[in-house]
Amino acid sequence: MGRGAAFFDLDKTVIAKSSALAFGRPFYRDGLITRRDVVKSAYAQLMFRLGGTDEQTMARTRDYLAALCKGWQVEQVRQIVAETLHELINPYVYAEAAALIEEHQAAGRDVVLVSASGEEMVRPIGELLGVTDVIATRMTVQDGRYSGEVEFYAAGPSKVDAVGELAVERGYDLAESYAYSDSYSDRPLLECVGHPTVVNPDRQLRRLATENSWPVLEFRHPVPLGRRLRERPAVPVAAAALGVGVGVAIGIAWYGRHRRTRVTPVA
C-alpha cells in the first residue's frame, strides 16, 4: 500500500472567493481586460449559473478563457499576481482550511491544490499556504505570451486524470487519500479517493453527500495569515463538521468593475 495524499479544490473550499475574480481588478487596471470584456464576462457568469457545470458549459468556459487571455504577457500576469496576492487572497483564506491542511501535512500526507484557475494564480496561492504541489489550468505559451490555446484545462474529469497521473508518479494510494470540494462539478475528483469530504457544498453536491454519507464541512472564518499565526489554533476543523473539498474566466472582468471602488486594504 502506498501513502495517501490530500487534494483540495481552491475556490470556496480553501479561499472564500473565486481566485480568478480576485485578480480581476488589477488585470483591468493594467489594461489586460476592457469594458467590453466586463459585459461579456458578466453575461458568461450568468449563463454559467443558469446552465450548471455540464461538459458543454465547461468547454465554452475553456474557449472563452483562451480567447480572453490571448496575447497577454505571461511575465506581466505573474507580476500582477505577486504584487496583489497578499491584498486580494491572504485575507480570504479559511482558517478551517488552513488548519486542515496543516493536519494533513503533520500526518505525513502531501497536500495538492487542484483548481481550474490558471497555474500562474494557483501556484503562488499554494506557496502562501505552504503547499508546493498544484494541479491547475495551463495555457499554451509562445514567445512569452499566451497563444490563445489551452494546454490543459483542470476541470471535471480532467482533474481526475491529473490526480491519477500524479498518484502513479508519487506512489499515492488513492483509496487512502482525501479530497475536498464545494462544487458538484468535482464529483469525479471526490469519487476517485477513499475519503471524500464536501465543503460549503452547492445544492447538488450536498444531496450527493447525503446519498453517499460523505462528511460535510462548513468553513466560515476567512482569516489573514498573520492573524492565524498569532492566534493558532484558529478555528477547530471539528467544530465546523456537520456530519455524514471553473470559474477561471467567468466573471474575471466583471470583478474588475464590481470591485473597483470596494477593495479593502490589508492592515
Q: Is 243 left (phi over 0), alpha (psi -120 to 50) or beta?
A: left
| β strands within 92-159, DSSP E | 110-118, 133-142, 145-152
Is there a catalytic annotation at residue 133?
no
Residue 155 has what DSSP assignment? S
State which amino acid sits at residue 38.
Answer: V
9 included as an active-site residue: yes
Are the C-beta atoms of residues 91 and 224 closer than 8 Å to each other?
A: yes
How are strands ordered across the β-sheet holding 216-217? 145-152, 133-142, 110-118, 5-9, 178-181, 195-199, 216-217, 241-243
Residue carrying the nine cell digits 490558471: 118
Residue from 9, 37, 182, 186 carrying the catalytic annotation: 9
Q: Which residues does the annotation mark as catalytic?
A: 9, 11
